[in-house]
Structure 1
């Protein structure tokens, strides 16, 4: 799909091995590493990432902070803390949308034109894939429509076929 000069697609792959100007990390609030994509990014980036993250003082749910990419192919990492799914009536959709908006803002600030984004909050945080994909795609579509030319390419990087199916369905619905 193309919106405002930006190509947006869902791809299956390992975000830590992919070449983008920046990647988004589905982080925890400490920013010091954890499980899932967060742990994989920290392991691949190396120990300098933890050092820089310590200086950031954590991150609140729905916000995002940028660091260097260190040993990753990506020049920058945008760390965002997604909401834990608590049934959908506790502001989860608004917080998740904020993660995407804030991440896109931080990516612009560091000069990223290509961006890889994982399925934020869909792992241990339990956000249902179909609902998360809709929030992600709708938020990104509005963002790039409002800022034509801000990005060249955004990839929604899916770890498995189930996530890829959900994100492709959300893309087709826009």
Structure 2
């Protein structure tokens, strides 16, 4: 699998699957989650509501992943995952890595050849950008030789975030 860093808006990425940094309700929110729901249209929300009514009545657990249609997005699927909130007192990095690992597993099950990931938990959930990049790349690099997915894009919002990610990736 080729791992590519991209600066931009994840909702504009033309890939088989987009990963959504969702909240556990699966019903939309701010940041990446809100952008995906807004641009993807009502079909995504309808499938998320159906998931809440069936398998995820209490919401999607942190670190897990589930797929829906991509609606009006330039992708076939959205893979929703709930990242952990950053904590100074508790190491939650395994949960963050689970987000990438489980999203990649869902992409494999779907037969996706290309997947675009946001920098999960690095927005309103407060995860430090440098460490968020390290966690993402650790999983993607670990799985690069064994996954049938051909390309994983880490889509970074803003030039500062992209520069930080590029520096971390090169180290």
Residue 45 of structure 2 aligns to a residue in which SS?
Answer: helix
Residue 103 of structure 1 aligns to a residue in which SS?
Answer: helix
In structure 1, the residue matched to 2:34 is 39
1:119-144 CA distances to partner (integer Å, 9 max, x unpaired)?
10000000000011000001110012
In structure 2, the residue matched to 1:3 is none
Residue 155 of structure 2 aligns to a residue in which SS?
Answer: strand
In structure 2, the residue matched to 1:124 is 124
In structure 2, the residue matched to 1:26 is 21
In structure 2, the residue matched to 1:64 is 65
Given candidates 158, 163, 167, the residue that maps to 1:169 is 167
Q: Does structure 1 conserve the Cα–Cα contact (< 8 Å) formed by 2:107 and 2:149?
A: no
Q: If the length of structure 1 is used for normalisation, what is the TM-score?
A: 0.91
1:30-73 CA distances to partner (integer Å, 9 max, x unpaired)?
01000001000000111111110012123110111001111100
Residue 144 of structure 2 aligns to a residue in which SS?
Answer: helix
- Displacement of 1:172 after TM fit? 1.5
Residue 27 of structure 2 aligns to a residue in which SS?
Answer: coil
1:160 aligns with 2:161: no
Counterparts of 1:144 and 1:55, CA distance in 2: 33
- Displacement of 1:170 after TM fit? 2.8
- Displacement of 1:92 after TM fit? 1.4
Q: If the length of structure 2 is used for normalisation, what is the TM-score?
A: 0.93
Q: Does structure 2 conserve the Cα–Cα contact (< 8 Å) formed by 1:119 and 1:163?
A: no
In structure 2, the residue matched to 1:107 is 107
Instruction: List 4+ stretches of structure 1 deviating above 2 A.
Output: none
- Displacement of 1:163 after TM fit? 1.5
Counterparts of 1:138 and 1:36, CA distance in 2: 24
Q: Does structure 1 conserve the Cα–Cα contact (< 8 Å) formed by 2:63 and 2:84?
A: yes
